[in-house]
Structure 1
Amino acid sequence: MVVRATTQLFRERRRRAADRTFGVRLLGAAAVAALSAVPFALLLVLVEGKWRPLRTVDASAAGRLHHLALDHPAWTSTLRFLSDWVWDPLTLRCVLAVLTAWLLWRRAWRLAAWAGVTAVAGGLTGLLVKTVVERARPSLEDPVARAPGFSFPSGHAMTATTSFAVLLLVLLPLVPRRGRALCWAVAGLSVLGVGFTRVALGVHWFSDVVGGWLLGLAVVASTAWAFEAWRADSGRRRSEMTEGLEPELTETAPER
């Protein structure tokens, strides 16, 4: 009995120590997210340096998709609906807010903190980079859509990347194994679809969308690393990407 009580006390102290460092790890990971995004940094250098091959790709994609949008009004209306309502950043942030509230109700405190910090860090990081780069949006004749603000990186693409990543990594433990591949496919196609709509509507360059994807992945990777570090500190096993960040979520339940 004495040995068991001592072991439980040791485990409890270890968990408390892990909890105290978890917030620091999350904030630190969010602060270095942009710096750890090496692929994004390389793309940013090419954008700022106005690398000719990249500018050619951007101009070619914008021109071809713009002509397609002008020739098919019904197709363009569908893209606007998807971009402005279904995949709009505000819509996705509301979904994440509901998810975070649900996690708090489930008493999954650390997972809720991770989801909230990842969403906020992604939004603030994207806004900061946009303000620093100040890249102008495409200027096309007879535009089919308009958007305010600067162009690089795409806020829609970045928000979609972080939002669908959070949804996947949180909810996968609740999905039967046979259905997880479908969830990954839906999330991946949604993220790609967001990028396509922004270029097809003429409000972003192709490199803006790629930049949003890369920066969003950097933010998620950084905060997910912090979460995994907390799991290691608290003595939990390392989780796999195919099972979500906290496989024990199915065991977490609100107190009655």
Structure 2
Amino acid sequence: MATALLLAVVPFAMLLLLVEDNWGPLAGADFAARDRLHEYALTHPVFVAVMRTASDIGSALAWQIVTVLLVIWLLWRRLWRLAVFVVVTIAGSSLLNSVVKAAVHRTRPVVSQPFVNEPGASFPSGHSQAAVVGFGVLLLLLLPVLRGHWRQLTVAVAIVMVLLIGFSRVALAAHFISDVVAGFVLGAAWLAAMTAVFSAWKVMSGDAPVRPADGLAPHQEPTARTPGR
């Protein structure tokens, strides 16, 4: 977990420095992608519709609904620690994103005919960060009950959805590429940190630590112990 966290935090810090320093190659890539994708989108309404749909799937409202449903299901199964993990990880990610955006205060891309009018700052992309955290949480909950090709398919779908949501934010000129990449990296760092905290919590409670490849194993949540054992 510590290695995963370090591998995510270091690239984010480097990317933040490059954005703050307005590094030429990165700025050039950001503006080139904005201009070319926007030019393409202006003449392809179906493309815009698909990108809007992908963006809506990754919206804050969508993740709020998913979070509520997950928590209700986990509490119904009396998996209260996992319910806490879901709430803290998803809600905390949103709060972290707002704090970083306020600190960096980067202006959003400006185009002649915007497809979306997003409030707030641009760096890092909230949709991209939420996608990594949200789909990451879903995978951690689903992996223990999936086997074989179903597990591989679920992971593949999650990766595609994360990339599609991130791409949609650039295609709609809501974010620069660097905003999206930063959202991915910060989301991965936050997810790794929260999973490490949850693993430590399990260990202190006398359970086995979390192995990300195996998920959070909700079926292994502790049950009431028989007196004398």
In the alignment, what sits opposite 1:28? Answer: none
Encode CA deviations 1:1-54: one digit per residue, 9 max, x unaligned.
xxxxxxxxxxxxxxxxxxxxxxxxxxxxxxxx89x8222111111111111111
Q: Give how far 1:219 is off.
A: 0.8
Matched, 1:60 2:1: no
Can you list the C-alpha shifts for 1:182-203, whole angstroms capped at 9, x where unaligned?
1111111111001100000111
**Structure 2 partner of 1:231:** 202
**Among 79, 83, 107, the residue aligned to 2:55:** 83
Gaps (5+ residues) in structure 2?
Answer: 224-229
Between the aligned partners of 2:94 and 2:209, the Cα distance in structure 1 is 28
Q: In 1, Cα distance between the equivalents of 2:220 and 2:148? A: 15
Task: Note the C-alpha offset of 1:234.
Answer: 2.9
CA distance in 2, matches of 1:205, 1:127: 17
Task: Could you tell me which runs of 5 or more consecutive residues in structure 1 were left unpaired when the two chains were aligned.
Answer: 1-32
Rg: which structure is higher? 1
Structure 2 equivalent of residue 96 of structure 1: 67
Contact residue 158 and residue 216 of structure 1 kept, 8 A: yes
- Percent identity, aligned pairs only, is 44
Aligned pairs for 1:183-222 within 5 A: 183-222=154-193
**How many corresponding residue pairs?**
219
Shift of 1:150: 0.8
Partner of 2:14: 42
Matching residue's letter, 1:79: M
1:24 corresponds to which residue? none
TM-score calculated relative to the size of structure 1: 0.80
Task: Say if 1:108 and 1:249, in contact at 8 Å, map to a contact too.
Answer: no
Question: What is the TM-score normalised by the length of structure 2?
Answer: 0.89
Displacement of 1:109: 1.3
Q: CA deviation at 1:92?
A: 1.7
Please tell me the residue identity of whatever aligns with 1:59: F
Contact 2:79-2:221 within 8 A present in 1 as well: no
1:164-175 mapped onto 2 (5 Å cutoff): 164-175=135-146
Following superposition, the deviation at residue 247 of structure 1 comes to 5.3
